[in-house]
């Protein structure tokens, strides 16, 4: 006799939600433009996400501004200043020299 619940889970244990990755759907289409830009970019570059990182960041920022996800520092989501510059095609060393 099996003692597990549906799909092999134990009965009576509370499920633990994932730390990230689950957030409200955009039912009001508040960030549709950003989403479409990102998906179009992915299609153009053969689904190479690193080429579209700047649009991914823009989409996440929109979601945070519209309260569709918790506000977080972009560095916590994997976006650092250096990676943003690389995505835009800029040379990090040149930019740092120009700031001095």
- Residue 66 CB: number of other CB atoms within 10 A? 13
Contact criterion met (CB below 8 Å) for 69 and 31: no
Does 66 fall in a domain? yes
pTM of the full predicted structure?
Answer: 0.61
What is the total count of domains within the chain? 1
Contact criterion met (CB below 8 Å) for 87 and 53: yes
| Mean pLDDT across 46-53 | 94
Share of the chain above pLDDT 70, in %: 59
Range of the domain at 51: 29-83
Does 40 fall in a domain? yes
Contact criterion met (CB below 8 Å) for 10 and 4: yes
Supply φ then ψ for residue 34, to 5 degrees. -65, -40
Q: What is the DSSP-derived secondary structure letter of residue 8?
A: G
Does 91 fall in a domain? no
Q: Which pLDDT belongs to residue 21? A: 58
């Amino acid at each position: 006799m099996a003692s597990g619940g549906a799909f092999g889970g134990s009965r009576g244990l509370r499920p633990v939600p994932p730390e990230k990755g689950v957030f409200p759907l955009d039912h009001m289409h508040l960030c549709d433009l950003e989403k479409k830009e990102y998906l179009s970019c992915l299609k153009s570059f053969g689904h190479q996400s690193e080429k579209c990182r700047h649009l991914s960041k823009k989409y996440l920022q929109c979601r945070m501004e519209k309260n569709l996800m918790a506000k977080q520092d972009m560095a916590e989501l994997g976006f650092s200043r250096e990676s943003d510059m690389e995505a835009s095609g800029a040379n990090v060393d040149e930019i740092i020299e120009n700031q001095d």
